[in-house]
Amino acid sequence: MDPREKCDATGPPRSRKGKSRANRPRRGTRAESPQPQNDGEAQEGGQDPQTPKPPRLPKRQTALLLGFCGTGCSGMQIQPNLRTIEGVLFEALVRAGAVSQDNADDPVKVNLGRAARTDAGVHAAGNLVSMKLITAVPGIKDWVGHVNSFLPPEIRVWGKVRVQNSFNARTSCDSRKYTYFFPTYLLLPPKPDTALANVLKSASSTAQTQDISPQSTSRPFWDAPPATYEDDLARKRTWRVGSDAVEALRATAKKYEGTHNFHNFTVGREFSDRSNQRHMLSIEVSDPAVYGDTEWISVLFHGQSFMFHQVCRSIRKMMSALVLSCRTGTPSQIIDELYGPRMVMVPKMPALGLLLEYPIFETYNKRVGAHSEKLDQSDVDYRPGIDFEIHRNSIDEFKQRYIYDNMRNTEDQCGVFDAWIRYVDSYEGNDLLYLNPRGIIPAAAVIKKGVRRSAPFREKKRFDITSLTDIKQEGPATLEEAGEDENDEECLTKGKLEEMEG
């Protein structure tokens, strides 16, 4: 029997289901072989039983403020046999001596938690993980710089904060800020004679309503002679959005503010599920800005308890409803309709434009501030607040080099957003009929549980790609050929959804 297992008169310990754990392998995510050590680093465990162990170093509940470019990683959270942000970070902390060798095989042992999850390839200018760490490594004066020396340049620790022992990175987080960037040419109306344009025009004529084209100033764009999609894309990049269209975008975005039922912007939850009720604090639409040949615009989402299921997918759906309604001239009241009980298909915008700005811990900061205001910073009970803004210069420099440049270069070379909007415009079913001049969801667009639709809109995994590296690995035809359909109606338990929240 494993000597680590306790035993009494009843035999080896058993799980809740009554199964013996005597021969169960030790839990862990790391290899059994010892990891390479740096000279002079103090480590525990991983030694010959005859060799005395080094003294145990004190561990403190610590919050790490970090930023990362998600390219090449399968999301934020540690997963077996996959490269993830937490996996790379945890490995660096072990090598730096901030996690002892006794705890190096399982992050659960140090209570690893995160403020926000991100999908594969999604970036973060700021995120926070918390765990019990050795914050006084012998011989190391610059702890943060020491840890960063074991990290790749696209993952940076901005700072560490000693937090209360009861601190929970997810539940202590009051709100989160996300930014979505996209080229303004997505606001051009559907190209005439495309499947979507014809379907919406036919539905509009049947309803005896006005034409669906959103902006009279945009119609001449499609009056040019027929051209290849490469020529169309080149012209799109020289197109500049009008102030009226930007104001329409802002007015529609305001519909997201406040408390609403966001069931149509997630997966696996019914309208009646109370957890769909979420509060958006503010939405800010920036002024357009030109980078290279392309004009870009950004939308900043500040959400309380942000949000549900996988937040990255939810924001991509919210952005899709925002952009598609504006480009088709659909009234902003369609957003109110989407909060209602009828279920519809809302596509996801490309993952390329999404960025986690940082999580916010206002309530926690007030609590520790009240406790620490009369204490000296050297006091053992002093707890500072969590503030990403003190690292603003480093964060902005990192964002420009590793995030913004990556987004723009990928779009410039591959036209990801153009491929997505052309794919949407090629759809000829009924799922998008809520994009109409009445701003009302028609019966033909409603999805009924258990009822098969004749031509459902299919998501494509290729629009989850966030870098040139991913496209090169998938092959040059990645954005032009139909990829594998993504099943967005996967079966998810309530417990799993809660774990994925944020």
For residue range 457-500, what is the model confidence (pLDDT) as tens digits? 999 988 988 877 666 555 544 454 434 444 444 433 444 434 43
Spot the catalytic one: 48, 102, 105, 119: 119
- To 5 degrees, how large is the angle CA 422–CA 322–CA 316? 75
Compute CA 348 distance to the chain's CA centroid, rounded to the nearest angstrom. 13
Q: Tell me if 246 sits within 8 A of 214, measured CB to CB.
A: no
Cβ-defined contacts of 197-202 (< 8 Å, 24+): 197/425, 198/428, 199/427, 199/428, 199/429, 199/430, 199/432, 199/433, 200/328, 200/432, 200/433, 200/435, 200/436
- Contact at 8 Å (CB) between 126 and 66? yes
Contacts of 407 (CB under 8 A, 6+ apart): 181, 352, 353
Report the largest interatomic distance among the alpha carbons of the chain, rounded to a whole angstrom: 88
Q: Judge whether 59-174 and 179-205+220-358+388-501 match in fold.
A: yes
Contact 370, 387 (CB under 8 A): no
CA count, 13 A, side-chain hemisphere, 389:
4
Residue ranges of alpha helices (H) inside 173-310 are 195-206, 229-238, 243-253
Specify the amino acid at residue 292: G
Q: Which two tokens stand for residue 324?
A: 């598609």
In the annotated binding site for substrate, the residues are 178
Would you say 107 and 116 are in contact if contact means Cβ atoms under 8 Å apart? no
Q: 45-95 pLDDT, tens per residue?
A: 445 666 667 678 899 999 999 999 988 888 898 888 899 999 999 999 999
pLDDT in tens, 189-237: 999 989 999 998 887 776 554 444 444 445 688 988 888 889 999 999 9
Model-level pTM greater than 0.85?
Answer: no
Q: Which fold has domain 179-205+220-358+388-501?
A: Alpha-Beta Plaits (3.30.70)
Strands 277-285 and 294-304: antiparallel
Q: Residue 160 carries which side chain, given as an amino acid letter?
A: K
Interval 114-147: pLDDT, tens: 998 888 888 999 999 999 999 999 999 999 999 9
Q: Which of 105-114, 241-250, 264-273, 469-478 has the highest mean pLDDT?
A: 241-250
Structure tokens at 241: 């959005």
Domain ranges of the chain: 59-174, 179-205+220-358+388-501
Residues ≥6 apart with Cβ < 8 Å to 358:
65, 124, 125, 126, 127, 128, 176, 177, 388
pLDDT at 298 exceeding the cut of 80: yes
Domain 59-174 class in CATH: alpha beta
Question: Which residues define the annotated binding site?
Answer: 178
Known active-site residue 223: no
Residue 295 three-state SS: strand
